[in-house]
Chains A and B, each alone.
Chain A
Amino acid sequence: MNSIETSIVLPTKDSIKVRGVRRRLFAIAPALPLIIFLAAFFLLPISAIFFYSIQDDAISNSLPRTTAIIKGWSKGSPLPTDAYEAVVRDLVELNSSGNIGALSQRVGNELVGGRAVVIQTVKKLSAPGSGEQADWQLRLESAHPAWKQEAVWSVIANASGTKGFFYLKWATDQLDKIDVSGKISSDQGYAFLEMFKRTALISLGVTLLTVLLGYPLSYVMVEAKGKWGAILLLMVLVPFWTSLLVRSMSWVVLLQSNGVVNMLLQYIGFSDSSIQLLYTRFATVAAMTQIQLPFTVLPMYSVMKTIPRTHVRAARSLGAGPLTAHITVFLPQALPGIAAGALLTFILCLGYYITPALVGGAADQMASYYIARFVNEELNWGLASALSVLLTIAAVLIAIPLCRQIMRRNGGRI
C-alpha cells in the first residue's frame, strides 16, 4: 500500500480519470517552483552559451551593405563592382558610430593581421581630404593594399550571415587562419585539440591515481574496528568539507621554491638546491589527486560497507586463499562503487579551474582556464561559448552512466 496515494482525500464523485490527473498535478505542484526556477536561471543561461557558440554576426552587423552585395560572390570570380563602394560607405559609417572593435576583432580572428587592415583602412578613409576620390576601388585600395587581395574579401563573404560554425570550428582546430595573401598562416594561435587532450589526460591520470590510492584506503576504513572506523572516516570527511580554494592554496605554500617540500628534499639530501615544483604538471596532478581523493573514496566506501563479510568468509572456508577470496569475491562486489567514484572524479576533473590556475604551469592549463580567460580577458564570448559547448557535451555524455547507476542503486531515489 502506498502511503501518499491513500493520504489524498478526494470526493468519491470524481471519475477515476480526473482523479489520476489531479493526483499528478498534486504531486508536481511542490516541485514546480524549483523546475521553473531552474528553467529560467539555469537552462536559459546554458542555452545562451549554445546560442553564442553559433552566433557569428559581427561582420554582417558592421558591414550590412557589403555583406548583402558580396553574399553570392565566390572566390576566384571578379568582385561585384559596387562592393568597393559598399565597403567604403559601411566603414565610414561604422567609424562615425565609433564601433569598429567587433569588426576588427572578428576579421583578425580569421585573418592574420586583419585587425590592423580594418583599423588602418577606417583611419585613412575617415582622414580629411580622402573623400574627394571618385573612384571607390582606388580609394579603398590606397587606404590599405590588402583590399587588392582576395583574402580579406573572402573572410567577409564567408561571414555574411548571422549564424555560423566559425567559433566551433576554431575551438576544434578546424579553422585555417590565412594571411593577407590568402596563404595558410604559420601562426595558428591556440591548439585547442591538444588542450582538450591534455584536459582528458590529466583528468584520467588523476582519476586513476585516486582509484589506486582510494581502494586500499576505503578497504581499511570498512575493515577498521570500533573507534578507528570513525576516525578514518573523519580524516576523509574533513578535507572533503574544506574549501577547495584553501586546499589548493596549501599546495602553493608547500611547493614554493623555498617551501616546506623543498626544505625537506634538501634536508634529506635529495637535492642541493631548490627544485621547481610549483607551476608544473606534477603540482597539478598531486594537488588535484589529493583534493579529489575523498570524492572517489566515499562512493567506494559506501558500497564496500554493504558487502557482507560472510561472503569472503564463505569463500575462505571453501578453500580459497585470502588474496583469491578478495579478488574473486570482494572486488567484484565493490566494482559499482569504484565505477561511481571514478566517474564522479573524472567528470569533476574535466571542469577543474581553481587548482590548475593556482598551481599549474601557464602552458599546461585545462579547458576551464581557457574559457575563463576568453571571457574575462579577451572578451571573446563566441570562442568561450564554443569551448564550453564541447566541454559540457563531454561531461554530460560521461555523466549518463553515472546517473543511471545512481538511479538503479537507490531505486529511483537519489
Chain B
Amino acid sequence: MREYNDLPLIVRVVVYTLVGVILVYLSAPLLLVLPMSVSSDPWFTYPLPGVSWRWFEAFFNNPLWISSIKNSLIIGVCTTLLATTLGTSAAIGLINPKFPFRNAVFVLILTPLIVPVVVSGLGFYLFFSKIGLLHSFPGIILAHTVLATPFVVVTVTATLSRFDFNLMRAATSLGASRLTAFRTVMLPLIAPGVVAGGVFAFITSFDEVVAVLFIAGPEQRTLPRQLFSGMREQLEPTIISASVIVIILTVVLMLLAGRLQRQKV
C-alpha cells in the first residue's frame, strides 16, 4: 500500500540528516564531557591518555564535597516530604469540579514556575532576613518546597484524573469514613503518581542552585552550590566526576518516576 503521508525521498533525506545533526548537538556535549571524569590527566582533551578513578577518589575524600552531598540530601528529603504532602492534598481538592476559583488557584500554584528563579530568590532573601530564616536549613527547605510543589500538583492531578471516584463512593457506602476510604482505597491506587511527584520534587530540590545562592549560608552549602562555585572559580575534573554522580542519580530517579507514572490506576 502506498504511504500517502510520506514526504518525497529527497525531502526525507534532508530532514533525517538535519535531525541527526540536531540529535548530535543535543547529546554530544554531555557524551563528550562525562568520560573526562575517568581521565588520568587533568586536561579536558581527547584522546583520553588513560583511565583512572582518581577524580572520584578525590571527590569522596574531600570533606567539602561529602558535607555538600549530605546537605543536599537532607534538604531534598525534607522538601520531598513537605511538597508531596501539600501537593497531593491540594490536587485532591482541585480535582473536585465544585472547587471555587479553580483556575485562579491553579495559576497561583504554577506561578513559582513562571516567575524567574532569581526573582523568587530575591524575595526569599528579603522576606527570610526579616523573619530570621536566612542562612538556615528550614529556610532553604521552605523555598525549595515552593519551587517543587507545582510538579507534585501537576503529576498527582494527572493521576487523579484517571482515578475512578466510584470506588470512594463504594467505600463510604460500606461504612468507611472519608479518611479511611482515602487511606485504604484512594492512596494505594494513586501511590505511583504520588511517588512520581515526590521524585520530581526531590530532583527539583537536588538540582536547585539559584535560591540557595541567595539564602544559604556557608553551613548550608549544597552540592549544586559547591559545583557552581567550582565551575566559576577553577574548573577541575573532580567537578566532572561530581556531575556524573548527580546525573546518574537524577536519571535513575526520573526513569523510576516515568515508570510509576505510566502505571494504570
Contacts and interface: CB of A to CB of B under 8 A. Distances in A.
A384 interface: yes
Contact of B120 (A35, A46, A52, A259): A46
Contacts of A5: 97-98
B209 interface: yes
Nearest to A221: B19
B257 to A, nearest CB: 9
A258 B44 CA distance: 8
A249 B231 contact: yes
A27 B251 CA distance: 36
Interface stretch (A143-151, A175-183, A240-248): A240-248
A7 B172 contact: yes
B168 interface: yes
Contact of B116 (A24, A232, A322, A392): A392
Contact of B29 (A28, A38, A235, A254): A254
B191 interface: no
A391 interface: yes
A37 B152 CA distance: 15
Contacts of A363: none
Contacts of A396: 111, 114-115
Interface residues of B, number: 102
A132 B45 CA distance: 73
Given A220-B19, A353-B210, A395 B165 contact: no
A3 B166 contact: yes
A323 interface: yes
Contacts of B239: 249
B119 A351 contact: yes
A191 B27 CA distance: 37
Given A238-B251, A414-B106, A252 B126 contact: no
A52 B8 CA distance: 60
Contacts of B94: 31
Interface in A233-280: 235-239, 241-254, 256, 258-260, 263
Nearest to A23: B98
Given A6-B169, A235-B27, A254-B29, A316 B22 contact: no
Nearest to A294: B26
A250 B120 contact: no
A353 B25 CA distance: 22
B26 A388 contact: no
Interface in B93-110: 93-100, 102-103, 105-110
A34 B99 CA distance: 14
B69 interface: no
B33 A250 contact: yes
B32 A250 contact: yes
B149 A312 contact: no
Nearest to B30: A250
Given A27-B96, A254-B32, A399 B114 contact: yes
Contacts of B26: 235-236, 239, 290, 293-294
Contacts of B190: none
Contacts of B161: 413
Nearest to B225: A245
Contacts of B214: 372, 375-376
A388 B110 contact: no
Interface in A31-69: 31-35, 37-38, 41-46, 48-49, 52
Contacts of B157: 413-414
B73 interface: no
B201 interface: no
A134 interface: no
A-B CB proximity, top 9 nearest: A351-B116, A45-B123, A31-B93, A3-B165, A30-B93, A316-B4, A34-B90, A45-B127, A368-B118
18 contacts: A5-B98, A7-B169, A34-B90, A37-B145, A38-B149, A42-B111, A46-B120, A219-B15, A232-B23, A242-B250, A249-B239, A258-B44, A294-B26, A309-B5, A371-B119, A372-B213, A381-B126, A414-B157
Given A31-B92, A353-B210, A395-B116, 15 more contacts: A30-B90, A34-B109, A45-B127, A242-B30, A243-B250, A250-B34, A252-B235, A254-B33, A258-B43, A313-B4, A353-B116, A371-B119, A372-B213, A391-B118, A412-B102
